[in-house]
Amino acid sequence: MDKHLAGIDFSAPSAEVARRLIGVTMLVDGVGGRIVETEAYDRTEPAAHSFNGPTPRNFSMFGPPGRSYVYRSHGLHWCLNFVCREEGHGAGVLIRALEPLAGLERMRERRGLDDPRLLCSGPGRLCQALGVTREFNNLALDAAPFALLAPEAGAAVAVLAGPRIGISKAVELPWRFGLAGSRFLSKPMR
């Protein structure tokens, strides 16, 4: 597949891909919105699932870039990543929050909530809102059910960086990225 998607080169380092994904619109079966928060992971640092090599859970992280890696977190939530770098490297970007724009009614049904700020503001929440489960693992991001749309040309996207959330290793790396001023972040940027 073409490694360039929504104007982003997915063979680039995960931190660069994570930064450039802010402002991109992501849809799953037509439901989704603008990406406002991401985190980068790379096999070279111990917070990444790929750090210890391939396992049955993380094998899609070692496949070609531009595909999905979906895993179960804490036994009950799903989390969505976009694979990057070259095939076999083991890098990805965790999608942590969206600004809901399309399919709001579907999201409300799935989440059992009305407040738009609680629909997609967290990696587990957005997967529930978009209906992402294990069946969506290791799929190409340039084909249905996924769709990625670049921001409008010339649109200014102000991105802030900070430490990643919920990890205990490599906590110092500033590999969390967020849209400045967004009300849809899982937590404010520092």
Q: Are 60 and 66 in contact (CB under 8 A)?
A: no
Using CB under 7 A as the binding rule, whether residue 63 contacts DNA is answered as no
Smallest gap from Cβ 162 to DNA, in A, equals 14
Q: Per-residue x/- marks for DNA, 31-50, CB under 7 A?
A: --------x-x-----xxxx
Using CB under 7 A as the binding rule, whether residue 189 contacts DNA is answered as no
CA distance 6 to 139: 16
- Could you tell me which stretch among 26-34, 149-157, 160-168, 175-183 binds DNA (CB under 7 A)? 160-168
Q: Which candidate, 24, 23, 2, places its Cα nearest to that of 11?
A: 2
Q: Which long-range contacts (CB under 8 A, 24 or more apart) does 108-111 make?
A: none
Alpha helices in 45-147 (DSSP H): 104-111, 123-130
Binding residue count for DNA, defined by CB under 7 A: 37
CA distance 62 to 53: 9
Start-to-end Cα distance in the chain: 37
Closer residue to DNA (CB): 19 or 164: 164
Which residue among 23, 64, 65, 92 contacts DNA (CB under 7 A)? 92
Using CB under 7 A as the binding rule, whether residue 106 contacts DNA is answered as no
* Interface residues toward DNA, by CB under 7 A: 39, 41, 47-50, 52-53, 55-57, 61, 69, 72-77, 79, 81, 92, 94, 111, 118, 122-126, 164-169, 186
